[in-house]
Copies of this chain bind each other. A is one copy, B any other.
Amino acid sequence: MIIELDMQSDVPIYTQLVHQIIEGIASGRLKPGEPLPSVRNLASDIGVNLHTVNKAYTLLKQDGYIQVHRQKGVVVHPEGMPPVTEDFLNKQLEELRPIVAEAICRGMTKDDLLKTVEHIYLKITQTRKE
């Protein structure tokens, strides 16, 4: 899997890493049980600090996306993904609100916004079937 980081972005590098790994799983490019690079290797490959990769892996582990084995190393969680919980739905709501509010301010219609979300959903899941 190719990790692309935007060093100019306001989004912290560890967050970008978390997002890319989650998108990799969502798209099926990263399969359950698939090994991920060690903290050290990934940090060295993409030229970032060990702590940055460590923070990303810690968050992914906390949420149940990956497992960190002392021997097997880091793998995409082999027994399926975390479910839709109330905490997750609340977090999702808080993340979506400012995006929706900005769309409204700029006069984007509800239908155009829904089409955009649908397009992204289909684009990510489309890779799964290829």
Which residues of A line the B interface, CB within 8 A?
18-19, 22-23, 25-27, 65, 81-84, 88-89, 92-93, 95-108, 110, 113-114, 116-118, 120-122, 124-125
Contact = CB atoms under 8 A, between A and B. Distances in A.
A118 B25 CA distance: 26
A18 B102 CA distance: 10
What 10 A-B pairs are tightest by C-beta distance, nearest first? A19-B98, A26-B104, A26-B101, A23-B101, A100-B120, A81-B105, A110-B121, A26-B105, A84-B106, A22-B101
A88 B101 contact: no
A92 B98 contact: no
12 contacts: A19-B97, A22-B105, A25-B101, A25-B105, A81-B105, A81-B107, A82-B105, A92-B103, A93-B116, A93-B120, A113-B117, A114-B118
Nearest to A125: B104
Given A23-B101, A100-B120, 17 more contacts: A19-B97, A19-B101, A23-B98, A25-B105, A26-B101, A26-B102, A81-B107, A82-B106, A83-B106, A84-B108, A88-B102, A92-B99, A99-B99, A100-B121, A104-B124, A110-B118, A110-B122
A106 B80 CA distance: 9
